[in-house]
Structure 1
Amino acid sequence: MNESPKKSQKMMWTTLATMAFSIVWSFGNVVNGFIYFDGTKVIFSWILIFLLFFIPYSLMVGELGSVFKESEGGVSSWINATMGPKWAYYAGWTFWAVHVVYISSKGTGGLRGMAWGIFGNTTWYDSISTSWTQLATLAVFLFFCWVASRGVPVIKTLSTIAGSSMFIMSILFIIMMFAAPAINPHGNFMSFSWNWKSFIPDFNVKYFTSLSILVFAVGGAEKISPYVNKLKDPSRNFPKAMLGLAVMVMVSAILGTIALAMMFDPKAVNGHLNEYISNGPYMAFGKLGEYYGVGGLFMYIYAWCNVIGQFSTLVISIDAPLRMLLGSKEAKDFIPQKLLKVNKHGAYINGIWMVICLSGGLIALQALMPNAQDIMAQLVKLNSIVMPMRYLWVFVAYIALRKQIKQFQNSDSYQMTKHQGLAYSAGVWGFAVTIGACLLGIYSTDPFTLALNIATPVVLFLLGLILPTIKHYQETKAKG
């Protein structure tokens, strides 16, 4: 009698695969891949990154989630269990620190979306001085920092609605684009050759320094780790779910790329790279509307969904990672007491001020860029360099787990492989691919962008080292 409710709560592997797909994947990933890797030539790279990185990464996350099924802190909890609280603090700090750049990009992306949603283009927005665009971005950022400090719960609901609608539109885009030639045979579609040269990339400097874009795109599977043990027969069904996820993502990436190739000439994209990086999704939905004879309707819907998504994600990205860092067990041992101050709304107010200083400083620095398109392109690349650094701790946690496998192993836990050598190799390989892509992505021919790409992770890393030192000094001073 007592077992039936538990059984009914167990989820099918297809449910988990679909849930993970909506968490991990987005239309922006398809567009960025198409832009950075010369159109259909990205298909080879997508397949490679799925087979050699994404699938083993997801399976490692599954094993960690299965072993530490009672842990709710994600990567930090895994590190705490396998390596101790100090390393858990550094993992938590990394997860928070990478959001500094991400937060900066949300305000910029939201304002760009508003320009598309109001004017149907960004001609006016891109023509004004970057001093004014960044001042507006800073004002938006400060407003949403205030919203985060008030603990407004409705933002999470808006984010869920916007995220779901964006996901649906991404799928509809692919379906409708493939149907477009039959509905409008005179739509002036681009043609491309179906030979090997159209799909095999040019392995040059641009290729290797853009790999971080792909690694960033397929990351985030650690968010599904709490659901591993909610599956029926996890040891058999979790690999099925991850392979199903990989197939769905791969199909979406390949079909989405081909759909974009029917719209855009890669040579034209390369000639106006920053314009396409900044506006690619809007331009794609705009063209789709033209093919269906509805003008800019699809673009306007996408634009306003994106505005809601960008701004709500901005608030959540200010609040949630900060709570994970400052609300952790390690915070009181490694973080100065003043940063742990909570206001009457339950928000870490001094932590929010730290976000304002770091993300606000980055927003102000970008006023030195020539135009708004350059700022957006720079943020996309900087995000791809910094955000994957949090994945490094997944591989570190996995290697640490396998070193102590006898201590943590139990009969109910899912294992990617029982072979220790293969497990270590997978962990080291994932770490090497991630750090390699991040380091290669730093390269830029523009001195300012190169300096920012180097300085941003270095400053965040040093700050993470300094806080425990300040905490130790304060404790020593209090005792003495």
Structure 2
Amino acid sequence: MAHQRKSAKLTLTSLVLMIFTSVFGFTNIPRAFYLMGYAAIFWYIIAALTFFIPFAFMIAEYGAAFKDYSGGIYSWMAVSFGPEFAFIGTFMSYASYIVWMVNIGSAIWIPFSSALFGTDKTQQWSFLGLGSVQTLGLLAIAWMLVVTFISTKGLGWVKRLTSIGGIAVALINVILLAGGFFILLANHKLAEPLSIKALVTSPNPDFTSLISIFSFLVYAIFAYGGLEVTGGLVDETKNAAVTFPRGITLAAVTISTGYALGIFIFGAFTNWTFAFTQFGTAKINLGNVAYVAMNNMGYQFGHALAVPEATARLMGQWLSRYMGLSMFLALSGAFLTLVFSPLKQLIEGTPNGIWPKKLVKLKHDVPVNAMKVQATIVILIIALVSFGGNGAKTFFDILVSMTNVAMTIPYLFIAFAFLGFKRNATITKPFVVYKTKFSTGLGVGLVLFSVGFANIFTIIEPAIHGNWLKTGYTIAGPILFSLIAWGLYHRYQKQLSEQPKK
């Protein structure tokens, strides 16, 4: 319901910092360099121009217009485009967190291993004769059970854990830039040669076809995820009509520059062929590439200081340990929050009659029964994916693709509903960026095309290369969750129609 907000306080600088903190993710940099090398820089800039900026301005208009509504994106879409469309879009947004939990439940053991051993040893782990993928699956199931149990108790130290991990991860960015520039100055050359060809062609043989290159766009778009938080900042910004567009533009430039600089710096100390095919004994996948890359950075830093080989390898292990501990703390805090927060928002933000009464019951201010159902669904998906008989590389590739696609599809719903939002004259719009039908159509078109295009290529690219399993898993989640949402809403409509009219 309507509620009062505090008076505007955010300056341009604080606004940019808040957006940067919400959107910028360090692990996107080593993943991008691993997949595309220097060529990733171009696609990150394209993603900023075709997705980040136009979508952020839509979120800003939504946030200003619906600042007194609870329900978040459901309220935005319900008023703009209708409750059924809004519910399916909101449920898809929630579903993306389900896929995120499936991914992180398994992936979190990589930073745990890095923190303990200085390297990713998860591919050597075995339990009762099971392979590493199945062992990680069992650990992910155990993790989900433990985290759900802890979160149902409504413990207050979760935020503290998240903030400690967040500060530690933020320091990694400083280490990357300072250490990378030091290695560059000490060696007087880039480890990965820079050329016009390197800026447009990936050194990764899996990303040389036109289709696979286009599919990388979804990684770039995903790197700008988290924009939804900016919607609530409009009315808290000083002189919003001027400051907010400037803030969004400056944040987009800062974040895309940060990504581009980070990718470039990785090339200063990372020879792609050495780091990802020869360095150490670890097999590279999208789950562990960041830790292997930082291990290599510590190793190269040692060489730049001219220390003995054994010392250089030890420096690499300790940097990998630091990153592992930082990411483990940050992901643990995020998991403990996200295991109940999106679910609580979904239940409280959408019409109450949609949900069975047992699911909406709160205990310790969290929907305990709904969390148990959620845990069951996550565990079933983990078991399905991890016991599918694939190697670790394929396993994590599937999980990352599932996460990227699932978390970007809700953007399509929000952008499409924006057309209805602009047409609806009854909605008071105190903050307007898109002032003409043409600019609205262009902005919506750019977002729909870039996100839709990237997702389609991400889905079909594995199938073209014969990997139908990856395509199947990537598309199965969004289809399944949209059908569940449609079924829930039509069950709710049927119940309403059967109620006696007063």
Alignment TM-score, normalising by the size of structure 1: 0.89
Select between 95-104 and 125-134 the one with higher mean Cα deviation.
125-134
Match of 1:384 among 393, 396, 404: 404
* 8 Å contact from structure 1 (residues 26, 170) kept in 2: no
Match of 2:391 among 356, 371, 378: 371
Match of 2:231 among 222, 225, 232: 225
CA shift digits 1:286-340 (9 cap, x unpaired): 2232344444332211111111112222222210110011112x33232232322
Alpha-carbon separation, structure 1, partners of 2:215 and 2:63: 32
> Are residue 361 (structure 1) and residue 360 (structure 2) matched?
no
Kindly state the Cα deviation for residue 135 of structure 1 after the two structures are TM-superposed. 1.0
Match of 2:287 in 1: 278
Match of 1:458 in 2: 479
Letter in 1 for 2:345: M
Match of 2:219 in 1: 213
Select between 142-151 and 279-288 the one with higher mean Cα deviation.
279-288
Letter in 2 for 1:196: I
Match of 2:115 among 109, 114, 117: 117
Kindly state the Cα deviation for residue 407 of structure 1 after the two structures are TM-superposed. 2.6
CA shift digits 1:413-436 (9 cap, x unpaired): 222131122112211321232122
Alpha-carbon separation, structure 1, partners of 2:395 and 2:487: 30
Kindly state the Cα deviation for residue 475 of structure 1 after the two structures are TM-superposed. 6.3
CA shift digits 1:44-71 (9 cap, x unpaired): 1112111222111111211221222223
Alpha carbons of structure 1 residues 203 and 18: separation in structure 2 relative to 1, 3 Å:
farther
Kindly state the Cα deviation for residue 439 of structure 1 after the two structures are TM-superposed. 2.2
Alpha-carbon separation, structure 2, partners of 1:472 and 1:394: 23
Alpha-carbon separation, structure 2, partners of 1:419 and 1:101: 37
CA shift digits 1:233-288 (9 cap, x unpaired): 11111111111111111211111111111233345677699714222211222223
Kindly state the Cα deviation for residue 32 of structure 1 after the two structures are TM-superposed. 2.0
Letter in 2 for 1:199: L
Letter in 1 for 2:452: I
* Mapping for residues 268-417 of structure 1, pairs under 5 Å: 275-293=284-302, 294-328=315-349, 330-342=350-362, 344-365=363-384, 366-404=386-424, 406-410=425-429, 413-417=430-434
* 8 Å contact from structure 2 (residues 93, 410) kept in 1: yes
CA shift digits 1:186-218 (9 cap, x unpaired): 9x961413x322212456121122321111111
> Are residue 134 (structure 1) and residue 137 (structure 2) matched?
yes
Alpha-carbon separation, structure 1, partners of 2:210 and 2:467: 18
**2:88 partner SS:** helix
**1:399 partner SS:** helix
Letter in 1 for 2:77: I
Match of 1:421 in 2: 438
Alpha carbons of structure 1 residues 27 and 475: separation in structure 2 relative to 1, 3 Å:
same
* Mapping for residues 132-211 of structure 1, pairs under 5 Å: 132-182=135-185, 184-185=186-187, 190-193=191-194, 195-201=195-201, 204-211=210-217
> Are residue 433 (structure 1) and residue 453 (structure 2) matched?
no
Alpha carbons of structure 1 residues 464 and 274: separation in structure 2 relative to 1, 3 Å:
farther
Alpha-carbon separation, structure 2, partners of 1:83 and 1:124: 47
Kindly state the Cα deviation for residue 169 of structure 1 after the two structures are TM-superposed. 1.6
CA shift digits 1:134-190 (9 cap, x unpaired): 1111111111111122222211221122123212322431232112233x439x961
* 8 Å contact from structure 2 (residues 118, 317) kept in 1: yes
Alpha-carbon separation, structure 1, partners of 2:427 and 2:242: 20
Kindly state the Cα deviation for residue 118 of structure 1 after the two structures are TM-superposed. 0.9
Alpha carbons of structure 1 residues 465 and 172: separation in structure 2 relative to 1, 3 Å:
same
Alpha-carbon separation, structure 2, partners of 1:416 and 1:80: 21
Alpha carbons of structure 1 residues 29 and 283: separation in structure 2 relative to 1, 3 Å:
same
**2:284 partner SS:** helix
Match of 2:46 in 1: 48
Alpha-carbon separation, structure 1, partners of 2:379 and 2:495: 27
Alpha-carbon separation, structure 2, partners of 1:52 and 1:308: 33
* 8 Å contact from structure 1 (residues 26, 167) kept in 2: no
Alignment TM-score, normalising by the size of structure 2: 0.86
Alpha-carbon separation, structure 1, partners of 2:160 and 2:84: 35
* 8 Å contact from structure 1 (residues 126, 373) kept in 2: no
Give 5+ residue unaligned stretches, structure 2. 1-5, 202-207, 303-314
Letter in 2 for 1:422: S
Alpha-carbon separation, structure 2, partners of 1:148 and 1:474: 32
* 8 Å contact from structure 1 (residues 107, 310) kept in 2: no
Match of 1:3 in 2: none
Letter in 2 for 1:460: F
Alpha-carbon separation, structure 2, partners of 1:203 and 1:12: 45
Match of 2:308 in 1: none
* 8 Å contact from structure 1 (residues 115, 125) kept in 2: no
Give 5+ residue unaligned stretches, structure 1. 1-5
Kindly state the Cα deviation for residue 468 of structure 1 after the two structures are TM-superposed. 2.6
Match of 1:23 in 2: 22
